[in-house]
């Protein structure tokens, strides 16, 4: 006697139902994963932006806390489309290997003997499309700062000018040292006359505004979550000053007398 098998094939409606359920589940999983990756990239971008800004302000604070209120200047860079420049005198001699002897004082008066200029400035690289990944940026007409180009570079220079002690440069004199590199490579800037050292403190910044109130210097720094801004806005052609993708940090330093 032949045994009959209890197994049977799926009918066409059953197959269609299984495929439909599988398709719905796959779509749901894809959207969940896609949303998770999007949120992860957003958080990553935010953290990266904040870290770059914190690093820049940390460098500024460390130097500014040593600056004298009578030996410091700030202004917007003369060339349009850039940020501000801050410059001040330092009594430290970076060539002195003994840290206890690095800060130079006048032996007669005990007052600081100014040895070098420290200059911070935010500027567009001359090869902006290379730094920005192919984007271009118009020049903002805002009188306070340029909020169009979010790929600016914050540069720190040590300048040794003739004279011992040195005298604080005028606003016109500092323009000679506010030069733009083509990209993040600062080799050309380091070889400029009277420049002893040049450092890229941070890149991917939008604006730097310095304001002086008597003995207080306030620095307002902005940077953009670039990946998110590029996907949602016409980056380079609109003001990013108050965009939802723009981070803002401030530094306030009370200068020494």
Task: Give all strands of the β-sheet with 152-159 in edge-to-edge order.
Answer: 72-76, 84-90, 116-123, 152-159, 195-213, 216-224, 246-254
pLDDT score of 66: 86
Residue written as token pair 């009277």: 194
The pTM score is: 0.83
Q: What is the mean pLDDT of residues 127-141?
A: 94
**53 phi and psi, to 5 degrees?**
-70, -45
Angstrom CA distances, 127 to 12, 35, 186, 205, stand at 63, 35, 13, 16
How far is 164 from 179, CA to CA, in rounded Å? 25
Helix, strand or coil for residue 46?
A: helix
Token digits for 148? 């169009």
Q: What is the chain's mean pLDDT, rounded?
A: 88
Q: How many helices (H) and strands (E) does the chain have?
A: 5, 7
Question: Which tens digits make up the pLDDT trace of 77-91?
Answer: 999 999 999 999 999
- Is residue 38 over pLDDT 60? no
pLDDT score of 8: 62
Confidence band, pLDDT 50/70/90 cuts, at residue 3: low
pLDDT score of 21: 79
Q: What is the mean pLDDT of residues 42-64?
A: 87
Question: Which tens digits make up the pLDDT trace of 170-222?
Answer: 999 999 999 999 999 999 999 999 999 999 999 999 999 999 998 899 999 99
Q: What dihedral do alpha carbons 54, 55, 60, 61 form, nearest 10°?
A: 60
pLDDT score of 219: 97
């Amino acid at each position: 006697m032949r045994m009959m098998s209890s197994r049977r094939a799926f009918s066409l409606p059953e197959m269609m139902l299984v495929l439909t359920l599988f398709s719905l589940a796959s779509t749901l999983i894809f959207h969940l994963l896609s949303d998770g990756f999007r949120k992860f990239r957003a958080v990553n971008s935010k953290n990266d932006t904040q870290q770059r800004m914190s690093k820049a302000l940390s460098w500024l604070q460390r130097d500014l806390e040593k600056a004298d209120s009578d030996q410091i200047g700030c202004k917007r860079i003369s060339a349009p489309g850039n940020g501000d420049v801050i410059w001040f005198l330092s009594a430290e001699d970076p060539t002195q290997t003994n840290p206890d002897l690095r800060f130079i004082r006048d032996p007669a008066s005990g007052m600081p003997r100014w040895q070098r200029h420290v200059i911070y400035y935010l500027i567009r690289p001359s090869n902006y499309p290379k730094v920005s990944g192919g984007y271009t940026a118009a020049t903002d007409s805002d009188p306070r700062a340029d909020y169009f180009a979010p790929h600016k570079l914050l540069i720190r220079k040590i300048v040794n000018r003739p004279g011992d002690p040195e005298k604080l440069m005028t606003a016109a004199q500092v323009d000679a040292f506010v030069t733009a590199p083509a990209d993040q490579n600062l080799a050309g800037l380091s070889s400029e006359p009277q420049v002893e050292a040049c450092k890229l403190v941070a890149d991917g910044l939008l604006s730097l505004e310095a304001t002086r109130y008597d003995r207080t210097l306030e620095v307002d720094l902005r940077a953009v979550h670039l990946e998110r801004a590029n996907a949602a806005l016409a980056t380079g052609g609109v003001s990013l000053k108050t965009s939802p993708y723009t981070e803002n940090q401030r530094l306030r330093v009370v200068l020494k007398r």
